[in-house]
Structure 1
Amino acid sequence: MKRRTLLKLAAGGAATAAASGWSPVSFAAAAPLKELRLDYAYYSPTSLVLRRFGWLEDEFKADGTSVRWVLSAGSNRALEYLNANSIDIGSSAGLAALLAKANGNPIKTPYIFSRPEWTALVVRKDSPIRTLADLKGKKIAATKGTDPYLFLLRSLQTVGLKRGDIEHIGLQHADGRAALEQGKVDAWAGLDPHMAASELESGSRLIYRNVAFNTYGFLNVREEFLATRPAEVARVIKAYEKARGWIRANPSEAAKILSEEAKVSLPVALLQIKLRSDFSNPQPGSEHVKALQLAAPILRDEALVKADTDLNRAIGDLIDTRFAQPFIARS
């Protein structure tokens, strides 16, 4: 990247960060970053492509900045790493990010990495369960603090059921799939690519799907890192944009990368990439705010946040609708 372009990015990053209420140091004034820490996740194909091609390593090589990748097994892990200052940038579902933010995790979301349908409620192929109402009293696996868990709660609510009406079994996503297929639980709030693999390889059935209950893929940044390193965040977003454009132009090749990284079959990866992932709109905006506003009541209904929590304020504090604008490719 040319020096003129870098300085333009730095100026834009500083300006947009300042407009959001921060007083960041400029790229020119900041010492080179020693290490950039971010996650990659099988539910974020964009991160897998970015890591595979080493575009961030190339971008930061001249600065002497090393790039450390940390695998996130679920939104809960990514958000825990951010809260513990183990990573600077991490990927999660939107509602999971809001739950974390409302409970004190100091994060901002300046970029959307995908609009997925990555979760649904799943049963074995021979299960007598056919409807949401049939789940009353059943054992259901779900990873607490993730979109599948919150999807489960919202889905139950549509038929008048609450968390107390089922037996929740807390398992990470891959373990949830295994528990379902082994008959240890009656249902599972799945997550791709594990869910797609269970469908195609074990004949598992999706008994309830609702795209509107799948919240977006949020790329979250620690507030302190975004405030003090806006130029570096801008460069990460530019790299994400390169990966996003590559996936849209090469979906089959992106599926091969997902297949290899997640160790799932190519048909499973193709199902996730081509049929259940929308990479068209990475700019945070009103649709993402509205989606969280519609989803937020479940957090209070299920006592996942304090009763007096101002969720609308938390949403406003979480979603940064301005920072990434100068760096997003128009298509």
Structure 2
Amino acid sequence: MTSSLSLTRRGALGTLAALGAASAFAQASSTVRIGYQKSSTLIVVLKTQGTLERQLAPLGVKPSWHEFTSGLPLLEALNLDNLDFSADVADTVPVFAQAAGAKLTFVAQEAPSPAAQAIVVKAESPLKSVADLKGRKVGFAKAAGAHYLLIAALEQAGLSLKDIEPAYLTPADGRAAFEKGAIDAWVVWDPFLSAAQRQSQVRVLADGTGIASYQRYYLAATRFAQARPEVLNVIYAELEKAGRWVKQSPKDAAALLAPVWGIDAATVEQANGRRSYAVRPAVAEGLREQQRIADAFFAEKLLPRKINALDIDLFKPGAHA
């Protein structure tokens, strides 16, 4: 498969064909299939409040909801046309989708939240720094923001992934392995990070501050973005509102999310305090770190090919109102 090219670089015939297919798709589509994960805070808020059901009804569209354990399988589902829209995934995940030739459109991004992911060890661990991870078993989710944080932190300490024993684990499996001592360190993001900090005795070896900015992106299948831009405009507007509400009403937001996540409200509030939730359009200037991420994964032979991280489709909110 080949990677998706920007509309300005497609030939005229290809563009006309794509628009024709999009038109037919638009007429047939009455559902927007939304994928999300536990850390997709703003989408979980909209789902819990029934906001998109109400706001999309005038367009004759209903959302259907599909939960995933982490970002990589979420974008794989989007690429396979099993989803139309992806709630926020870490900045690392899209580069894997691009390398696989996925035809995805960046709809929005959240401003950086570097402290919302970290490398942690148990409080009594003899490990005192990232350099001490050499030869140790470290758990993390493949292609997640935590994966890049580990690569970048190891590089800063003069090490690489070859110097540790990696264990690819979902957040739930990572927590279990961490608690029973099956891994020496765990790299994870909020709200799982806050839950571990509040429920267990842990120490942070490093978070993303000065290492990895940890931006999160909202994406759509390009076919859907071309066919139903008015649906994406509604979703974008509601994400912006939800982001402002979570930051302006932290206790109310925590009270709403706690029973949904199965986490106490204080932990939710701590986790939300480290995320920016500042939703904004995805623009090329804001995607510069994507190339560093892609190059880092390619250098570790984790990407099948080198990519141009900026060779992507960008959605312009409001342009198709």
TM-score exceeds 0.5: yes
Contact 1:27–1:230, Cα closer than 8 Å, also in 2: no
Q: 1:220, 1:176 → 2: CA distance?
A: 26
- Any conservation in 2 of the 1:37–1:68 contact (CA below 8 Å)? yes
Are the aligned partners of 2:31 and 2:61 in contact in 1 as well (CA < 8 Å)? yes
Counterpart position of 1:233: 232
2:96 aligned with 1:109: no
Q: What is residue 120 of structure 2 aligned with on the other side?
A: 122
Distance change (3 Å), C-alpha of 1:20 and 1:273? farther
Q: Number of aligned pairs?
A: 306
CA distance in 2, matches of 1:19, 1:254: 41
Q: 3-state SS of the aligned residue for 1:269?
A: helix
Q: CA deviation at 1:242?
A: 2.6
CA shift in 2, pair 1:286/1:228, >3 Å: closer
Cα distance in 2, alignment partners of residues 317 and 95 from structure 1: 15
| Contact 1:41-1:71 at 8 Å conserved across structures | yes
TM norm structure 1: 0.84
RMSD, matched Cα: 2.6
1:13 maps to which residue? none
CA distance in 2 between counterparts of 1:27 and 1:59 reads 22
Which residue of structure 2 aligns with residue 53 of structure 1?
49
The structural deviation recorded for 1:198 is 0.6
Q: How does 1:265-276 map to 2 (within 5 A)?
A: 265-274=264-273, 276=274
Moved more, 284-293 or 255-264: 284-293
What is the match of residue 248 of structure 2?
249
SS in 2 for 1:38: strand
Deviation at 1:60, TM superposition (A): 2.4
**2:242 is aligned with what amino acid?**
A
* Partner secondary structure for residue 264 of structure 1: coil
State whether structure 2 residue 129 is matched by structure 1 residue 131.
Answer: yes
TM-score, structure 2 length as denominator? 0.86
Describe the superposition over 1:104-136 as per-residue Cα deviations: whole angstroms up to 9, x where unpaired: 222121211453333111111111111111101
1:98 to 90, 95, 99: 95
Q: Is the 8 A contact 2:161 2:300 kept in 1?
A: yes
Alpha-carbon separation, structure 1, partners of 2:68 and 2:266: 23
3-state DSSP of counterpart to 2:310: helix
**Offset, 1:325:** 5.6
Kindly indicate whether the alpha-carbon contact (under 8 Å) linking 1:93 and 1:217 is maintained by their aligned counterparts in 2: yes
Report the counterpart of residue 316 of structure 2 in structure 1: 323
Q: 1:148 maps to what in 2?
A: 146
Deviations 1:287-326 (A, max 9, x none): 522221333321221112235x2x33x32315x2x51265
Distance 1:34 1:107, change over 3 A: same
- Work out which of the residue numbers 292, 301, 304 in structure 1 matches 2:302: 304
Within 2, Cα distance between the matches of 1:119 and 1:204? Answer: 14
Match of 2:204 among 203, 206, 220: 206
The correspondence of residues 25-64 of structure 1 with structure 2, limited to 5 A, is 30-31=26-27, 33-64=29-60
2:3 match: none
- Which residue in 1 is equivalent to 2:80? 84
Give the secondary structure class of the aligned counterpart of 1:121: strand
**Which portions of structure 1, spanning 4 or more consecutive aligned residues, are displaced by more than 3 angstroms?**
17-30, 325-328
Unaligned 5+ runs, structure 1: 1-16
SS at match of 2:112: strand
CA distance in structure 2 between the partners assigned to 1:273 and 1:306 by the alignment: 35
Contact (CA 8 Å) 1:42, 1:261: kept in 2 or not? no
Question: What amino acid maps onto 2:238 in structure 1?
Answer: A
Asked whether the equivalents of residues 91 and 216 of structure 2 are also in contact (C-alpha less than 8 Å), the reply is yes
Give 1:80 shift: 2.0
For the residue of structure 2 that corresponds to 1:215, the secondary structure is coil
